Amino acid sequence: MIAELNQSWPAPSAPKPIVIIGAGGIIRDAHLPAYAKAGLSVSGVTDVDPARAEALASDYAIPAVYATLSDAVAANGTNAVYDIATPPHVIADILPGLPDGAAVLIQKPMGADQDQARAIRQICRDRQLKAAINFQLRFSPMMMAARDAIRKGLIGDLLEIEVHLNIFTPWTLFPFLIPMERVEIAVHSIHYLDTIRALAGNPQGVFARSIGDPRAEDFAQTRTSVILDYGDRLRGLMSINHNHQGGRKFQSAWFRIEGTEGTLMVKLGVCFDYPNGEEDEFWYCPNGGDWQQVPLEGSWFIDAFMGTMRNVQRFDAGEDSALFASVEDAYETMALVEACFQATQAAPTPLLLD
């Protein structure tokens, strides 16, 4: 049964063409390669920088370049799925320009903070948009397999979810993060918080610290500790260090998921030697048994990006009953992120030494 775990989202039977809004690096590195692999067509692109849109269209044989969002909407209406890949703070400005009832996939995060997420959610409600947030890790083959293993009872009742990263991330690749007040949780660990929610639901509360490091002194936070309060049965925690200087030998990037009947270990390959990465891995051990490695059908990058768009396409066509990463669900991830940042401001309990 462990070898038969579901690892991918089914393909839509009659997909609509995709219109790209924002021609940045994530589109080149992940979206377009994933759509090509999935057999999904991209019919047009628009960007505030016309030269960037023209370059993307030339490099990837995209038929149409639209000068404005209005032009893109006029040409496509609801006959396309809109893929928004812009900075989070402009999402709320873009959504009102889409047709009522349009299908749309929005790059994570859902705004820069919970207030913006709340505004985005309201726009989507008012315009009846079929909208999802591109929280892709939950759609990756390894995390789809983990979710299926839990659903099928292969590890029994959940007892432990731990995310442990001790890696070296070359933060200099991301100079746009330097002026940001919220960095590590907002742009990196948000993936893990969202995936934990996808596996275990919402915690009751959080304890958190996210701090800087002199080895990455230009960035507000690059190390994070989080305890997720799921009551007295399930223990959830994250320990994240992006600044390990000791080489590859003791680096780690894992989800450990334990239950009453067994354990899963999930390796996040993309985190090693970033941006080159290593292979993702998925391991299962029944209590008292031997570890078994389950072959994966793909990787977080790029295969997870197929799943997010497939789900939107299928929901739009009535083939899926729900959006797995809908704006309603993603809003709850943003609420969890906000709670983590609020917790970092809370005073610790002092030691009573007298």
SS (H, E, C) the chain: CHHHCCCCCCCCCCCCCEEEECCCHHHHHHHHHHHHHHCCCEEEEECCCHHHHHHHHHHHCCCEEECCHHHHHHHHCCCCEEEECCCHHHHHHHHHHCCCCCEEEEECCCCCCHHHHHHHHHHHHHCCCEEEEECCHHHCHHHHHHHHHHHCCCCCCEEEEEEEEECECCHHHCHHHCCCCCCHHHHHHHHHHHHHHHHHCCCCEEEEEEECCHHHCCCCCCEEEEEEEECCCEEEEEEEECECCCCCCCCEEEEEEEECCEEEEEECHHHCCCCCCCCCEEEEEECCCCCEECCCCCCHHHHHHHHHHHHHHHHHHCCCCCCCCEHHHHHHHHHHHHHHHHHHCCCCCCCCCC
Residue 203 carries which side chain, given as an amino acid letter?
P
pLDDT tens for 56-95 read: 999 999 999 999 999 999 999 999 999 999 989 999 999 9
**Band of the pLDDT at 348, cuts 50, 70, 90?**
confident
Q: Quick check: 2 pLDDT over 90?
A: no
pLDDT tens for 144-159 read: 999 999 999 999 999 9
**Band of the pLDDT at 219, cuts 50, 70, 90?**
very high
Q: What are phi and psi of 178, to 5 degrees?
A: -55, -45
Per-residue model confidence (pLDDT) at position 172: 87
- List CB contacts of 307: < 8 A, sequence separation 6 or more: 8, 9, 136, 139, 140, 144
How much is the average pLDDT of 275-293?
96
Asked whether the beta carbons of 65 and 55 are under 8 A apart, the reply is no
Per-residue model confidence (pLDDT) at position 173: 86
pLDDT tens for 308-340 read: 999 999 999 999 999 999 999 999 999 999 999
271-275 long-range Cβ contacts below 8 angstroms, 24+ apart: 271/165, 271/167, 271/169, 272/167, 272/248, 273/248, 274/167, 274/169, 274/170, 274/173, 275/173
Per-residue model confidence (pLDDT) at position 206: 97
State the chain's mean pLDDT as an integer: 96
Q: How far apart are CA 188 and CA 265, in angstroms?
A: 20
Asked whether the beta carbons of 281 and 267 are under 8 A apart, the reply is yes
Asked whether the beta carbons of 106 and 312 are under 8 A apart, the reply is no
Q: How far apart are CA 76 and CA 89, in angstroms?
A: 25
Q: How far apart are CA 229 and CA 236, in angstroms?
A: 7
Asked whether the beta carbons of 303 and 141 are under 8 A apart, the reply is yes
Q: Quick check: 343 pLDDT over 80?
A: yes
Per-residue model confidence (pLDDT) at position 119: 97
Tokens of 263: 């354990």
Specify the pTM: 0.95
pLDDT tens for 32-63 read: 999 999 999 999 999 999 999 999 999 999 99
Tokens of 71: 């032009």
Asked whether the beta carbons of 300 and 268 are under 8 A apart, the reply is yes
Residue with tokens 């992120």: 337
Residue 263 carries which side chain, given as an amino acid letter?
T
pLDDT tens for 158-199 read: 999 999 999 999 998 888 889 999 999 999 999 999 999 999
Q: How far apart are CA 64 and CA 44, in angstroms?
A: 4
Domains and CATH numbers, the chain: 2-137+303-324 (3.40.50.720), 140-298 (3.30.360.10)
Tokens of 236: 């959830």
Per-residue model confidence (pLDDT) at position 224: 98
How much is the average pLDDT of 248-265?
98
Tokens of 118: 């709340």
Which of 231, 232, 233, 228 minimizes the C-alpha distance to 158? Answer: 233
